[in-house]
Each structure stands twice: as structure tokens, then as C-alpha cells.
Structure 1
């Protein structure tokens, strides 16, 4: 088996099973020797901000000399990023090894109707946990795939959990109200296990608080148990009952990243206390300054100034618009946008059209669920340009944009992955 065959088999599995639940992944993990029982873990859920929070937390904990594993989705450059150790994706040969180990076990379980139909995400969850346990990592940061309660990552018993944000996304699966979605996210709360929550609306926070009380889980709330003060640029102050950190600098652009950084600080402090580790102010400062997370307000090119941001749902788009006002007020912004059909594309387009001094270009990309331009031809009357090839359009824009213009490429993270690979490849060719 080579890497293409390994990935082809993983992708051949169902995305979702008609019978939600943890039964299948639990059965697979049992056959793999229950690797989750040998790991020290943190569990992170939320509508948006999970990836950035994982990145900040990873960077802070690495300052302690820990070997830090991360399980995240989706990937930006290579599939192996989804299960990484100290920011290094799983090597192809290791992924092949685990697929060859797991494939016969999945086939064995498929023969039993109680466990049949193990999904793609259940498989990669099990592979990641086995890989991390075999490599004897110090801590694994596990990002929830979808929701929380019935997500396959919810088999773990973490040292602490976090819920970043609650927004209306994946409503066909998680529920149509903030309260219903919050109940799914709150499903990761474990008995007597600390929980840190981010900036969450009152109605959703009430559900989370009720679940935490029921589970007797100490709940650390944003704005109550830890606070931030936003300063100019990428600086902020952080304060809780034990720590006061002033003029912290974060490496990720955008005002909303203050919330994610603060949650990561609180989560890291709780983990350090639980594990009897000493987390210093200087370690936190260095961690925030050295955090990297691609396609989140990422400046990928300077001529023209090109920003990549995976604002892939309405909640994330609100954050993007706030950041644009702060970072690029008064500048002309040319927006290249695409998304997948499961998202509220119409609402996201309206939001992008509301940006002052902007021009919107709608495109598509190579992905089965990418939007189809023919369904949006009505937008041409609103001066929205529709282009089939984003690569060709980028080459044109690169030549005609003025020095003070901003090119924003945004939308689906799958779209961001393809753009990022292309732009970095272009940059490498120019440097050769």
C-alpha cells in the first residue's frame, strides 16, 4: 500500500453514519488496545476558533519542553497535518502503517451489524490516538470534529475541556437554535473535569453552565473568571484570580484572536496546575508570539498584500468583517470568495457586499461540494463578478492591483488549502 492508496481507502468510508453515536469508534479503539487511556489530553470544541485556540495552546505548552500532539481538521497543506506532533505532520510511512493495521479491523467490525459502517472521521480519530500513544507524547490537544456529544473524539477523558464559541453552523445536524447547538458542544463536558469557555452569548452559555453544574465540572467563564483588555495593534492584557499579564503580543492577526489567545492561556494554566508544571509569564509570552496557524488572517504575500482567511460560515464572517474594519479601514479591498454548498452562501455574500471600498469576485474550486457559479448568475446585476478560474483571476489581479490595495481570499477552508498550496508554489518558483 502506498500513501495514495491509504488515503483513498480512508476517504472511501462514509462521512456520516445514519446511526450517530460512539459505539463504533469505541469498538475500534478496543481492538487497537484503547490507546486513549494512555494519553494526557485537552479537548477543544466550538463553532469557530478551535484551530487557533489549539495553535496558541500548543505553542504555550511547547515552551515547557513538552512533546505536544494535535488532532485537528481540516488540513491546509497535507492530510498528515490532522495528526501532528510538535507541528510535524504524521509521516506518510507511519500513516500507511496505521491504515494497514486498522483496515482489517474495520472490515471485521463491518461484518457485525452493531458496528458496521465506521466512518472516515472515526477511523482517523482512532489512528491519531494510537499514533500519539505509540509516540508517547506528553500531551495531546484533541479538536472536536463536529458538535461534541456524538463526535467520535468524545471517547476521551481529558485533563480539561474548552468550548470556544457557539454559532449557527451545521444546523442540519446539530440543531436550529443556539441552545440546541450549545447542548451538543456541552456534550464534551466530563464529570469533575475543568471547563474553560470563550466569548459565548447568554442563551448558549446558560446551557453550558447547566451542563457543567450537572457534571460538577468547574467552569471558567470568559469575562468572569478570566478577563482581557484589548490594546492597540496585536497587544492585549490578561487577568485572572492568580495572574496578571500586561502588553501581551499575539502573532495571529485579528481582534477575535485575543479571545482565542486568552482562552488558551487559561487552559494552559489549568493544565500546568493539574500536571504540577510551572508555567511562567515568559513562557506564555513566547508561546503567543511564536504561534502559527495558516489561513487565519494570514498575510501570504505583500505584492499585492494578500490575506487568506478561512471565514467558512456566517459566525466566522462576522469576525472577518470586524477585523477588516480594524486592520484595513479606508483601503480598497478586492475579495475573492468561494464556499461549499452546505454553508449559508447567500448570507455570507451579503455580508461581503456590505464592506466599504470593496469589490466582490465569486469563484469556485476543485471540490465535490464547491458552489456552482450558474446558481449565482443573478448576482451579476449587483456588480458581483463571477469567474470560473480563481488562478487565472489571481494572475490578472496580481498585475493590476495598486500598492495600497488589499486582496482578500476567503471562504471555505478547503478553498484556502488550494490557494495556499498554489501561492506558496508560485513563491518557491520565483525564489529558485
Structure 2
């Protein structure tokens, strides 16, 4: 598929737009941030079914002439690992010769990283052009009713679909924002679906059992469309199997149809079609090998009956080229500073296990902030059992718990020293001042915390 011209952003019904209300990227983003953003709200004002749904998204996409209907899509849900898996899948497909769009959330450094084509962030001018195109529809929706006004995430998702079509991508890899069944990305008709590991998160919206959570995430499955599934707890897998049976959707399970074998410094993935030996990913942790095996299965299904051949070299090169921030990422030495977006109990367990297995250090110091609607006490119990010191902080996200509240909870759980600092950059500076050269400082609890630490360090690289 050839890229469309920049003028192509203004095709179809969007020709009704007169003029360009936004002359700069800053003006366009200031307008976009006025729309409801559930990433920055503790909980919806209404019942989940009235807030989250696909009606607004379908109406918005109809205004854009339904770009999602003209894309070959890989759709990925899950509690843990879906962003890494999506990024690996896109990288593999790109090395196989496809032009690939990648849509992920949340962002770490810049909102433009949510929409990528062949590993490049969407340009500011394109964001501005998309919002100029959407402006007439959005203004009309604001006059009608808040119920019919798209949310921030819905608008950005629609922009991703429109950009991928205009940019002529061959395959679009989409990460679900929240859940699956009612997520804005679930308007797509995928060539293959993926479900990464499912655990407890967003229980106020998705349910408080693995069966309920898995049922919501399995809501992305489509009739007779194959799905690649990472290893799951039995309860979660049973819900996924039930949904797949109802839809006659073939399942490919990592650990069964997709075999993962340890090769020491490398690993091997085998599918019913092919063996992919001597693979490696530049991301810390054994869990990333599982994510990689899931990505291989997804890429293989996505290239079925297409011009792109998924060779072992393409898989090997694609995994080696994978770049994604804040996944147990080392950003400094002596003391070692690691950043990770862990924000639920499952991801905290994985983070701690990887720090213990992949890193050598004397004391473990945390810089931490969390959203107030997370299971803070369970997360803290895990962290405090390993920590020598914790410096609590908060992001600018309105959902963030106050540092003083986190200190209070920590002191009720453990005698480990707990300090507070209002700004993430200052919290890291305090941790580094208290650390010795052989210590490890881990910044975690939220992608927003990690992003603000990176922002504070911009232009001030650590040794």
C-alpha cells in the first residue's frame, strides 16, 4: 500500500471543514486536552457501559470515512506485556518488509510516541492536520451532548486509524487501552488477535475475578479470527477458551502450539509452521521471552497469505531491534538507576524477580509514585519486603496518590525508611544522594512517574 499525500488527510466527508482552526501543534494539543481523559480520572462518573462503549467511536470514524475498515490489523489485549508484545510484533513485521503502524498507550516521554509508522513518532504537523480535520465534528458533538462527545482516547485512536491509512501502512498493530470489549480500538476487524498475561488491574471497571477480567479482554476476539495467547492462570484461560469456542476462533497457545525453549543467552520459538532459533531481545527479564514468543506467533499469523515472508532472520533482526522505554530499563550506573512502569501487583512481582535475577547490587532503593485507585497496599508489601529505602513522590496526573499518603501506608506495613518528595526529579536526586555506588535505584509505580523523571533529566544525563 502506497502512502497517501498530505492532502489525503482532507478527503471524503472531511472536505466540509472550512479553514484550519489550529495553526500550530501547541494550539491543537491545547484543544485536545479539553476532552474527557479517563487516564487522568480516578473513576468514571457513570456506569461503565454508559461511559465506555463503541457507539461514539463508530460515529467518529464514520466522519473520517471509516479508515479502520481498510487496514490489516493485529489487535492485542492483556494486563501485562501487551505494550512490549505490540512493539516486538511491529518490529518483526517491519523487518519482514511491511510498512507498519503501531498504536500504544500510555506514552512515556511524548504523546506522539503513541502513533508510530516504521518506528517513527507521528510528526507534530500531522497531529495538527488530523485535529483540523476533526474539528467540525468535535465542535458539533460539544453542542449536542456530553454523552456523544468523543473522549481524548477515542479522538487519538481515530487519529491513529486515519494516519495509518494516509501513511499507507501494510499492517497496523494496535494495543488495547483498557479492557478490550468496550475499548475504542475494538472497532477494528483484525487479521489476528493477541492476549498477553492477564492479572488483577482496573478491577473497578473490569471486575474483581480473573474470569470477569479475562472475559472483558477476550472481548477483542472475532469470529473465526485466530488468536495467540500467552500463558495464563487456569481461570483466565478457561474464560478465553469459552469465548473462542463461541466464536469458532482458533487459539494458538504459547507453551503449546507455540513452543518456547531456553538456549542460554538465546532462546528458540517453534510453531506448527516453522522454527525460529537463536533469538534474543534487548529487554531485561524472562517474561520478555514469553512476550517475544507471543509476538512471533502474532507476526506469523499476520503475514499469512500476504506478500511478506516471515523468515527466521526477520524474526531475529526484528526482536534485536526492539526499542521500548521504561521496561526495566537501565539509565545510569554507580549507582545503577532502573526505570520501569510497573503499576499493579503482577508487574511488581515480575520487576522484583528480574531485579534479583538480572542485576547485581548491594541495597535496593525505590523512587515510587502510584495512582490512588490502584491496590497500593498489596504493591507496597511486595516492594517494602525488598527495599532498604523508599522515596515516595507523585506525578502531575490527578489520579496520583499523595506522597504523604504513601508514606503513611508504608509505615503501617514495614519499618523500612520511607521519605517523600513532591516532584519525581527531586525524589530521584534524594535517592541518589542517599545511595552508595553499588546500590540500585528503581523508579517505578507508574508510567507517569517514569516519564516525569525522564523529563527532569532531559539535558542532564546521569553518569
Q: TM-score, normalised by structure 1?
A: 0.93
User: Judging changes above 3 Å, is the alpha-carbon distance between structure 1 residues 396 and 120 closer, same or farther for their aligned structure 2 residues?
Assistant: closer
- In structure 2, the partner of 1:31 is 63
- In structure 2, the partner of 1:321 is 352
What is the CA–CA distance in structure 2 between the aligned matches of 1:110 and 1:23, rounded to whole Å? 16
| Alignment match of 1:200 (pick from 195, 218, 232) | 232
Give how far 1:364 is off: 2.1
What is the CA–CA distance in structure 1 between the aligned matches of 2:147 and 2:225, rounded to whole Å? 29
What is the CA–CA distance in structure 2 between the aligned matches of 1:110 and 1:369, rounded to whole Å? 25
User: Judging changes above 3 Å, is the alpha-carbon distance between structure 1 residues 348 and 228 closer, same or farther for their aligned structure 2 residues?
Assistant: same
What is the CA–CA distance in structure 1 between the aligned matches of 2:303 and 2:68, rounded to whole Å? 20
User: Judging changes above 3 Å, is the alpha-carbon distance between structure 1 residues 413 and 288 closer, same or farther for their aligned structure 2 residues?
Assistant: same
User: Judging changes above 3 Å, is the alpha-carbon distance between structure 1 residues 341 and 115 closer, same or farther for their aligned structure 2 residues?
Assistant: closer
The yes-or-no answer on 1:211 pairing with 2:243 is yes
| Alignment match of 1:387 (pick from 399, 408, 420) | 420
| Alignment match of 1:4 (pick from 15, 22, 26) | 26
After superposition, the CA RMSD in angstroms is: 2.0
Secondary structure, aligned partner of 1:125: helix
Q: Is the 8 A contact 1:230 1:258 kept in 2?
A: no
What is the CA–CA distance in structure 1 between the aligned matches of 2:207 and 2:440, rounded to whole Å? 37
The yes-or-no answer on 1:93 pairing with 2:125 is yes
Secondary structure, aligned partner of 1:179: helix
What is the CA–CA distance in structure 1 between the aligned matches of 2:117 and 2:152, rounded to whole Å? 21
Secondary structure, aligned partner of 2:140: helix
What is the CA–CA distance in structure 2 between the aligned matches of 1:369 and 1:207, rounded to whole Å? 31
Unaligned runs of 5+ in 1: none
Give the alignment of 1:330-341 within 5 angstroms: 331-341=362-372
What is the CA–CA distance in structure 2 between the aligned matches of 1:85 and 1:422, rounded to whole Å? 27
Q: Is the 8 A contact 1:55 1:293 kept in 2?
A: yes
Give how far 1:276 is off: 4.4
- In structure 1, the partner of 2:272 is 241
- Describe the superposition over 1:261-293 as per-residue Cα deviations: whole angstroms up to 9, x where unpaired: 000011111112232421111111111111111
Give how far 1:109 is off: 3.3
Q: Is the 8 A contact 2:335 2:440 kept in 1?
A: yes
User: Judging changes above 3 Å, is the alpha-carbon distance between structure 1 residues 111 and 256 closer, same or farther for their aligned structure 2 residues?
Assistant: same
Secondary structure, aligned partner of 2:148: coil
Q: TM-score, normalised by structure 2?
A: 0.87
Give how far 1:330 is off: 6.1
What is the CA–CA distance in structure 2 between the aligned matches of 1:187 and 1:243, rounded to whole Å? 29
Give how far 1:142 is off: 0.8
What is the CA–CA distance in structure 2 between the aligned matches of 1:298 and 1:264, rounded to whole Å? 20
User: Judging changes above 3 Å, is the alpha-carbon distance between structure 1 residues 376 and 125 closer, same or farther for their aligned structure 2 residues?
Assistant: closer
Give how far 1:111 is off: 4.3
Aligned length: 427
Q: Which sits farther off after the overlay, 302-311 or 176-185?
A: 302-311
What is the CA–CA distance in structure 2 between the aligned matches of 1:309 and 1:114, rounded to whole Å? 36
Q: Is the 8 A contact 1:23 1:115 kept in 2?
A: no
- In structure 2, the partner of 1:425 is 459
- In structure 2, the partner of 1:408 is 442
Secondary structure, aligned partner of 2:303: helix
Secondary structure, aligned partner of 1:268: helix
Give how far 1:400 is off: 5.3
- In structure 1, the partner of 2:9 is none
What is the CA–CA distance in structure 2 between the aligned matches of 1:78 and 1:320, rounded to whole Å? 24
What is the CA–CA distance in structure 1 between the aligned matches of 2:250 and 2:31, rounded to whole Å? 42
Secondary structure, aligned partner of 1:427: coil
What is the CA–CA distance in structure 1 between the aligned matches of 2:430 and 2:348, rounded to whole Å? 26
Secondary structure, aligned partner of 1:192: coil
| Alignment match of 2:308 (pick from 277, 285, 297) | 277
